[in-house]
């Protein structure tokens, strides 16, 4: 597939579709100027044979039915895009319809994945990207937050979280500052965790948080396409390496705390929001640790309250609050 255009506005989507006449159009529902439904209606007027695949968070029956009434060939819910988007594209390019498992309209049969022979096809993407998924049935996942005031509190909780996963033969992704990466490795060894073997097996993945941020930040904010592509690929690899029953991935993260400490509150909230979406698609448990010193004034506290609301449990120096 060759992506020939990406736009974030419904009216521009219509204009570019008419101008470029792509082989396939990926269309979100919630677009400014024109909704995805209205954009699809206008695109159909100009390009009656256009192939349209809706990729959106919206899964209500009315919207799905209206999308197919307009002649859409496919509908995929973003939380399941990791497994369903590639086969959906391939099915539509073969002339079939595709209804994702996240919608209740089963008037079409979901197609199985297959490679598309012949020339590369052109795709116009309209709207934001979707988060990947790697499991067929949901399982309970936790997104915990630790607000710590001392290094001892940080190390105790973080080490316990990571050690439990590695001792269960599961995988852990650690996105932390370099000093914290070194401290965690030391305390894990002191707790007789075989870190070297876990690294060699791909079950322990230590990553510099600042470097990880640089792979998906654009103009001071996380780009959803890059976030799900970069972070999702790391999670997928870690899940393959996990040997637990069932296999799971734990993630320890300091990306949002690092942004908040740098005064980039909006970016910190956006990364937490994308992380919450990521959890919907994986057997993934996450612990985020925020130093208390990063919450300075009233504005910081209001931002932090928004961040806490995205977590399943919030701890302050080991005590749930």
Number of structural domains found in the chain: 2
Same domain, residue pair 202 and 70: no
Q: Is residue 134 part of a domain?
A: no
Same domain, residue pair 7 and 43: yes
The confidence score (pLDDT) of residue 162 equals 94
Contact (CB, 8 A) for 147 and 292: yes
% the chain with pLDDT above 90: 38
pTM here is 0.58
Same domain, residue pair 147 and 195: yes
Cα Rg of the chain (Å, integer): 22
> Tokens 């640089």 map to which residue?
214
pLDDT digits (tens, 9 = 90+) for 229-252: 888 889 989 989 999 888 889 999
Measured between alpha carbons, how far is 59 from 64 in angstroms, rounded to an integer?
7
Same domain, residue pair 153 and 268: yes
pLDDT digits (tens, 9 = 90+) for 278-297: 876 676 889 999 998 877 77
Given pLDDT bands bounded at 50, 70 and 90, which one contains residue 132? very low
The confidence score (pLDDT) of residue 283 equals 66
- What b/e readout covers 64-84, taking b as 16+ CB neighbours within 10 angstroms? beebbebebbbbbbbbbbbbb
> How distant is the alpha carbon of residue 61 from its chain centre?
24
Which of 59, 92, 126 lies at the terminal end of a domain, its last residue? 126
Same domain, residue pair 183 and 283: yes
Q: Which domain holds residue 50?
A: 2-126
Relative to beta strand 319-320, strand 313-316 is antiparallel
- What b/e readout covers 179-216, taking b as 16+ CB neighbours within 10 angstroms? ebbebbbebbeeeebebeebeeeebbbbbbbbebbeeb
Residue 320 has pLDDT above 60, yes or no: no
Q: Is residue 133 part of a domain?
A: no
Peptide linkage before 246 cis (omega within 30 of 0)? yes
Instruction: Name which of 148, 203, 202 is nearest 180 in CA terms.
Output: 148
The confidence score (pLDDT) of residue 122 equals 62
Question: What average pLDDT does the chain have?
Answer: 82
Same domain, residue pair 296 and 159: yes
Same domain, residue pair 10 and 155: no
Count of residues for the chain? 321
Residue 134 has pLDDT above 60, yes or no: no
The confidence score (pLDDT) of residue 100 equals 87
Query: Which CATH number goes with the domain that contains 41?
Result: 3.40.50.2300
Q: Is residue 252 part of a domain?
A: yes
């Amino acid at each position: 597939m060759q992506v020939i255009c990406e736009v974030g506005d419904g009216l521009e989507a219509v204009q570019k579709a008419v101008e470029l006449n792509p082989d396939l159009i990926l269309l979100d529902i919630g677009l400014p100027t024109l909704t995805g439904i209205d954009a699809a209606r206008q695109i159909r007027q100009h390009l009656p044979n256009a192939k349209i695949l809706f990729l959106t968070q919206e899964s209500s029956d009315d919207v799905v039915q209206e999308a197919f009434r307009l002649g859409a060939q496919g509908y995929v819910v973003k939380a399941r895009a990791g497994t369903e988007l590639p086969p959906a594209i391939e099915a539509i390019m073969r002339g079939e319809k595709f209804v994702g498992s996240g919608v209740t309209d089963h008037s079409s049969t979901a197609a199985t994945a297959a490679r598309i022979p012949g020339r590369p096809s052109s795709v116009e993407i309209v709207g934001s990207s979707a988060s990947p998924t790697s499991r067929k049935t949901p399982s309970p996942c936790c997104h915990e937050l630790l607000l710590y005031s001392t290094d001892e509190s940080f190390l105790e909780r973080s080490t316990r979280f990571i050690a439990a996963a590695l001792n269960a033969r599961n995988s852990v992704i650690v996105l932390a500052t370099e000093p914290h990466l070194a401290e965690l490795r030391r305390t894990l060894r002191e707790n007789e965790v075989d870190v070297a073997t876990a690294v060699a097996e791909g079950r322990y993945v230590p990553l510099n948080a600042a470097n990880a941020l640089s792979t998906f930040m654009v103009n001071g904010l996380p780009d959803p396409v890059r976030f799900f592509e970069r972070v999702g690929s790391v999670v997928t690899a870690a899940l393959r390496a996990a040997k637990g029953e069932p296999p799971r991935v734990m993630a320890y993260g300091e990306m949002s705390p690092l942004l908040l400490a740098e005064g980039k509150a909006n970016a910190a909230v956006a990364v937490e929001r994308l992380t919450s979406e990521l959890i919907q698609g994986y057997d993934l448990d996450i612990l985020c640790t925020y130093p208390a010193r990063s919450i300075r004034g009233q504005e910081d506290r209001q931002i932090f309250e928004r961040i806490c609301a995205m977590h399943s449990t919030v701890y302050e120096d080991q005590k749930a609050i």
